[in-house]
Amino acid sequence: MRTFSLPGNRSLKLAVAGFLLTTAATGSAFAATPTDAPGPAATSAVRAPALPSKAPAGAIEPTGYWTAEKMRNAIPADLPGDAKVPGKQDPAPRTGPPSIASHPVAPLGRAPLNDVVPSTAGKVFFSDNGLNYVCSAASVNNNYKNLVVTAGHCIHSGQGGNWHSNIVFAPSYYNGQSGAGLWNWAAARTFNAWINNSNFSYDQAFFTVWPRNNRSLIDTVGGNGLAINNSRNQPNSRIWGWPAEAPFNGEVPYYCDGTTSAWGSTDAALGCNMNGGASGGPWLKDRIDQNLGYIFASTSRRTTSGPQVLLATPFNSEVLDMFNQMT
């Protein structure tokens, strides 16, 4: 394992593994977008088309869209600018007392893992305006055993943009392959405040995935818990991501460890030099092991001048509402 030192008590580590990995993938066009009640905390959702009854010959996933070459050449989905807020801001997110929305669970029939490439975190591939992009994400335990959490901009382009298509989750991605195959999306949801105003405080999203080989995502790879309304100052935090811009190549996972701190009006911050492609990666607290813990935020963006810092608004009561809407 290689360690990159950063100021203070923070470090960036390269996770490497020597086990055999397998593949699969996803692609889709999508349906219309039903919208909930108005207001910045309201959310909108989009559904993926049903998977074809038979995958095309030679396909590595049911739709036949994703190929190894497309995944390898996907563009890191990185927010532009130096982490500046948009001109128009909605009211501050709603908060409440700290709570737990769900608890971590290991893969079905297996004890908690200590894999250095986490089974519950991975890459998200998607298409937007004819181009293919990549983010990071992680599985979350829920009643339906089908949920992934990421950044809002990994699902929708934000103000003036569109919903993404061909969304697929690749858990434990390592050197071009996913340890549990690729999982096609079924439905995605994010905040109207992100869709309409690109408000970074609402740059969070969930999406569900179809079963694969008659097994659910969470039973196959495990799922993290979801922590709500936590302080922006979190000791012993870990951020996973797949940075894809130089000096990184997006082929292996990295993590940053340290104590997060308050930044601006709603964000938490951690010194870390991960870059484009790491967006949407999980911020973990109260880790059970290398692989499982409670996700309290997902990477939104990074500074591009001055100290290298990752930023994310911790999940609040509004994110809990969105979590409860996912079925």
Task: Output phi, psi for 152, to 5 deg.
Answer: -60, -40
Query: In the prediction, which pLDDT does 117 show?
Result: 81
pLDDT of amino acid 276: 93
User: CA 173, CA 115: separation in Å to the nearest integer?
Assistant: 12
Instruction: Give the pTM.
Output: 0.85
- The secondary structure element, H or E, covering residue 12 is strand 11-14
φ and ψ at residue 5, rounded to 5 degrees: -75, 145
Residue 5, pLDDT above cutoff 80: no
Express each pLDDT in 226-256 by its tens digit: 999 999 999 999 999 999 999 999 999 999 9
Q: From residue 276, how far is each of 92, 135, 175 by CA, in Å?
A: 27, 8, 17
Sheet containing 225-228: order of strands: 2-5, 11-14, 254-258, 237-241, 282-285, 294-298, 225-228, 99-102
pLDDT tens-digit series, residues 99-121: 666 666 756 655 544 456 889 99
Structure tokens at 248: 């990184």
Mean pLDDT of all residues in 260-283 = 95
Classify residue 246 by its DSSP letter.
Answer: T
CA end-to-end distance (rounded Å), the chain: 38
pLDDT for 79 equals 74
Q: Is 56 within 8 Å of 49 (Cβ atoms)?
A: no
Q: Using CA atoms, how far apart are residues 94 and 317, in angstroms rounded to an integer?
A: 6
Judge whether 126 and 164 are in contact, CB under 8 Å.
yes
pLDDT, one tens digit per residue, over 160-188 is: 999 999 999 999 999 888 889 999 999 99
Tell me how far apart the alpha carbons of residues 181 and 171 are, in angstroms, rounded to a whole number: 7
Q: Look at residue 76 and tell me whether its pLDDT is greater than 70.
A: yes
Backbone angles phi, psi at 238, to 5 degrees: -135, 130
Q: Which of 30-34, 89-93, 132-136 has the lowest mean pLDDT?
A: 30-34
Average pLDDT over residues 213-237: 96
Q: What is the C-alpha to C-alpha distance for residues 82 and 303, in angstroms, rounded to an integer? A: 5
Minimal CA–CA distance to 251: which of 136, 111, 128? Answer: 136
Within 10 angstroms of residue 101's Cβ, the number of other Cβ atoms is 18
- pLDDT band per the 50, 70, 90 thresholds, residue 78: confident
Outline where 103-199 has alpha helix (H).
192-197
Strand partners, 14: 2, 254
Whether residue 3 is predicted with pLDDT greater than 90 in this model: the reply is: no
Average pLDDT, integer, range 182-208: 96
Say what the pLDDT of residue 20 is. 26
Which residues make Cβ contacts (< 8 Å) with residue 313, sequence separation at least 6? 93, 200, 201, 202, 203, 204, 266, 267, 268, 297, 300
Whats the size of the chain, residue-wise?
327
CB 178 within 8 A of CB 22: yes
For residue 76, give both structure tokens: 């890191």
pLDDT tens sequence across 293-304: 999 999 999 998
**Beta 131-140 vs 177-178: how paired, if at all?**
unpaired
Q: Which residues lie across from 128 on neighbouring strands?
A: 131
